[in-house]
Structures are given as C-alpha cells and as structure tokens.
Amino acid sequence: MTIAYRNSILIIGNLMFTIPKMINRRTKNRQYNRVVRLFLILLILGVSDLAYGQIGAPPVDSLKADSLRKVKDRLKPTAVPVSQQYDFRDLVHDIFTPHKQPDSTKKRSGITVIPNVASNPTIGSQIGIKAVAGKVLGHEPGTLLSVAATSASITTKGIIYFYINHNVFTPGNRWNFQGSLVAAKSVSPDNGLGIGNGNYSSPADIILSDPTRKAYGIHSLYFNLREKVYKKIAKDLFLGAGLSFDIRRNITTNVGDTVLTPYKVYNERYGFSNSGYSSNGFLFNIEYTTRDNQNRAYKGVYLDAGFRINQTWIGSTKNAVQFNYDFRKYFSLSSSNPQHVIAFWNWGAAVVTGQLPYLELPGTGRDGAFRSGRGYLNSFFRGTQFDYTEVEYRFPILRNNFLSGVAFGNLQTANDRLGTKIFETWQPGGGAGLRVLFDKTTRTNLCLDYAWGKYNSKGFFLGLNEAF
C-alpha cells in the first residue's frame, strides 16, 4: 500500500504542472486534452480504491496582523471568484461535451454523486454510491448553507451500510435541523478500553485494556435514528433538543464464544448482554456557529455542547448521562487568498453517571461524522472519558482551486477505569492529503489522505468534504 501511495503522489505531483494547460478550454489540441483529462479522472478514482472507508464568493477574513506576511507577499492575486474556479463537473463537461459552451445563466445543481469505493482489513473491498448536497434555503442574507449526504455500499466481507444525514438551516437561520438514519450489517473493531496502558491487577484487566491493541472484530446488525431541533435565540446562538435511538442486535465476535475479548470483559463487569442492547436517550444541546461554509470553512467558530440522557423507560438497556462537546475554529491566514487556513478541532465526551454499552463509548472516530482520528481505525482508542484535538493547515495548489492540499496532526487521550486517567497519556497521529474540488458552488471536496499513528497504524482515508 505504501508503494502504491508513493507512486500515486509522484504521478499527481507531475500532473500539477500540466493541469493548468489541460483545463484551458481554448486550447487548440482538444483531442489531446480529452485523453489527459480522462486519465486524471481514472487516477483520482483509482487512488480511492486504496482508501480506508470511513463522509456568491464568500467574504474574506482580513486579520489585523497577518501571521504569514511572506506567504501573502507571494500571493499577489486576489481570491478567485466562483465563476473562475474549476471543479470535477467542469472536467467531465470538457471531456464529454468539449465543444458545447457552458450556460452561465443556468443554475447548477448542488448535488454531487461519486462511487463509494474503499478497502481496509476490517471491511474488505467496498463498492457503493455516495451523494452529498448543499443549498442555501430562502433569500435572507446570512442564511447558512444546508447540507445532506447519503450512501449505500456493500463489501466483500458481507458488510452492508446505508445512511442518510442532514444539517438544515431554515431562512434567516431561525431553525436548525440535524439528524441521521443508519441501517447496517456492520463490523466494529475491538482494540480494548483506554489509551494503551494502565494498572493491571488481573489477566482480565490486561485483556480489557489491551496494551498491545490487538484487533478483534464484532459483527452486528446496527440501527440508528437521531434527530435534533435547534431554535435560534440570539445572533448565531441556538438551543436544541432531540432523541437518539442506537440499537444493536445479533452481536457476535470473530473468535467465537470461548475466547475472552475486551468486549466480553466489559459486558461481564457492567451488566450488558453479549448478544445485543439498546442505547436510547434524550439530547439537550447548545450551538454557536459563525462558519461561512459548512463543508469547508475559511473563517468562523463552531461550538456544540450538551447532554445525552439514556432512560430505560424509552427502551434503553441502562440509564446513563453523558456530556459531549465539539469546538472548531478557523483562521484565514491571508487577506489576498482566504484558502490558506489553520483549522482547529477539539472534540470529546464523558460519562457522568450510569453505564454506556461498550460499542457506544466515546473514542476514535466516534464523532458525529466519524472522521476523527485519521491514522487509526475506528474506535482504536475508547473510554468512558475521551478527548481529541486536531490542527490542520489547508492551502491551495492550483489558482483555479481544482487541487488543494492539507497537512494535519492530532492527539487522543482517554481513561481506562483501571488507574489511567484522561489527559495523563496521549497518542499522536498525523498525515497529509490532496483535495479535488467536486462542486465549487458548495465547496465540496474529495479528500484523499494518508495518515499514520502508533502501533504501526497507518493507511489511506477517503471522504467527501473536510474532516471538520
């Protein structure tokens, strides 16, 4: 996989110098352009086969003190208007209808559809279809972009996954609706509780905390229905409430009933069945957002914090109260080109009282979009208390925004209920990636990332839109 990645990067690097010529619609050698552009599409989709499966021009942010004046001096051109940007749809148009002049008066659809292709040791090889959509509802100034996504896929290991999610703002941002629907025949990795170390007093403790991070597979039928409704109470500030139903049935492990795994040790200690559970609760949240775009923000702040209260009288296996938070901040580093962005993310959760099922504990990739922890498999680290921090630098590569790049680093910490407390031990991860502009009207990107962490954990990660 590493050799394939290096070869892909070398090819893409060479293409960076030729793409500006390829995308000039007025070039004289149209036949040559069609061949080269078709090759670029195949290259992009080919790289995604190696990926780990996981999902008017804006005002610029002029800071009083530009922390990258040297970068700014080299970027004399102003921000590129949307009409002069080049995305995947333009590429497809130039290949299949090169002689047809684009209709500038026709409003483009905000829906992007791509194959959902992925591969990793847990799910095998995956094929499916994915679509994302973005639209500003109504005509009131300041209304935020509403986004939605859906995907259906199947893998060579028999995993079937379908989801729909949405984040919708009504005109004037008076109401915000956030929700998801998931139905899956899934496999969940089991790498133990905690952050990779602990105080062990018994063989079961060692299995539960699993300092070697040995991977087991947990197979189940999974269903999720979640909906939150937020009401605007002040400028950029919302109060919300909702419900979430997380149900797993027919749970089995890939090592049978006789081998002790972290999942089984946890269930025995905290009174859960090995075969299934329900985690149903009420959601109460506060949200503050000033992001200029939900898909790829150049500036602004996002904060969502609140409580989840699981109750047996609405079908939950056990009562529990969990506090969760999600904070994001975006800094545009250049007034001449706002796409130079430093993005900061802090996400976490903690069980305040009661017990959560093992597979519902906060951990790697357990954020709302399942995008945290690039460099590790989903739930590689988990605990009843978990905190995740990431910083990412985003930068343009081509002036028309068709290609851009990122570099990122992250840290995770968790408790293990065996003596290790949260914030005592941190596990790092990091990587870099390429962005291909799929829809310039909604800033929808195809994200190709290579990331690595500890315990020889590494790989490709594919997604639509930024991780945060």
79-129: pLDDT as tens digits: 677 878 887 777 877 788 777 776 666 666 667 777 777 655 556 677 888
Q: Label residues 168-195 b or e (16+ Cβ within 10 Å = b).
A: bbbeebeebbbbbebbbbbbbbbbbbbb
Q: How confident is the model at residue 137 (pLDDT cuts 50, 70, 90)?
A: very high
Residue 220 backbone zone (phi > 0: left; psi -120 to 50: alpha; other: beta): beta
Q: How confident is the model at residue 22 (pLDDT cuts 50, 70, 90)?
A: very low
Residue pair 89/421 in contact by the 8 Å Cβ criterion: no
Question: What value does the mean pLDDT take over residues 39-61?
Answer: 38
Higher pLDDT, 168 or 11: 168
> Which residue is it, tokens 């197979």?
219
pLDDT at 62 over 80: no
CB 448 within 8 A of CB 406: no
Of the listed ranges 107-116, 230-239, 380-389, the least confidently predicted one is 107-116
Q: Give the pLDDT confidence of 324-341 residue by residue, as tens digits.
A: 999 999 999 988 889 999
For the question of whether the overall pTM of this predicted structure is more than 0.85, the answer is no
pLDDT tens digit sequence for 268-316 = 999 999 999 999 999 999 999 999 888 899 999 999 999 999 999 999 9
Q: Is the pLDDT of residue 250 over 90?
A: yes
Average pLDDT over residues 178-199: 89
Pairwise CA distance, residues 322 & 356, whole Å: 9
Hey, how many other C-beta atoms are within 10 angstroms of the C-beta on 206? 17
| Dihedral sign of CA atoms 23, 28, 30, 36 in order | negative
* Integer Cα distance of 212 and 198 in angstroms: 12
Q: Which residue intervals of 49-131 are DSSP H helices?
A: 69-74, 88-96
User: Helices then strands (H, E): number in the chain?
Assistant: 7, 18
| pLDDT reported for residue 257 | 79
Nearest C-alpha neighbor of 14 from the set 36, 33, 46, 31? 36
Residue 78 pLDDT class (50, 70, 90 cuts): low
More confident residue, 223 or 108: 223
pLDDT tens digits, 146-161: 988 899 999 887 789 9
Higher pLDDT, 74 or 107: 107
Number of Cα atoms under 13 Å in the Cβ half of residue 223: 8
What mean pLDDT comes out for the span 57-65?
Answer: 35
Inform me whether the pLDDT recorded for 169 exceeds 80: yes
Question: Bigger pLDDT: 210 or 22?
Answer: 210
Q: Give the tokens for residue 42.
A: 């195949």
CA atoms of 190 and 266, how far apart (whole Å): 11
d(CA 359, CA 372) in angstroms, rounded, equals 16
**pLDDT attached to residue 42:** 43
Query: What is the 8-class DSSP label of residue 296?
Result: S
Per-residue model confidence (pLDDT) at position 335: 82
User: Residue 76 above 90 pLDDT?
Assistant: no
Domains of the chain from N-terminus onward: 2-102+111-464 (2.40.160.50)
**pLDDT score recorded for residue 103:** 64
Q: What does DSSP assign to residue 107? A: P
Nearest-angstrom CA–CA distance, 219 and 161: 13
pLDDT for 60: 36
pLDDT for 200 equals 75
210-451-292-86 Cα dihedral, nearest 10 degrees: -150
Distance CA 447, CA 369 (A): 14
CA–centroid distance for 433 within its chain? 13
**H or E stretch at 353:** strand 341-354
User: Is the pLDDT at 70 greater than 60, yes or no?
Assistant: no
Q: Is residue 187 predicted with pLDDT exceeding 60?
A: yes
Question: 47: Cβ–Cβ under 8 A, 6 or more apart, which residues?
Answer: 8, 448, 460
pLDDT at 45 over 70: no
Q: Using 50, 70 and 90 to split pLDDT, how confident is the model at 445? A: confident
Lowest mean pLDDT among 129-138, 174-183, 295-304, 457-466: 457-466
Find the distance separating the first CA and the last CA of the chain, reported in whole Å.
Answer: 26
- What's the Cα-to-Cα distance from 202 to each of 206, 281, 296, rounded to whole Å? 7, 34, 48
- Going by C-alpha positions, the residue among 380, 400, 401 that lies closest to residue 446 is 401
Report phi then psi at 349, rounded to 5.
-160, 160
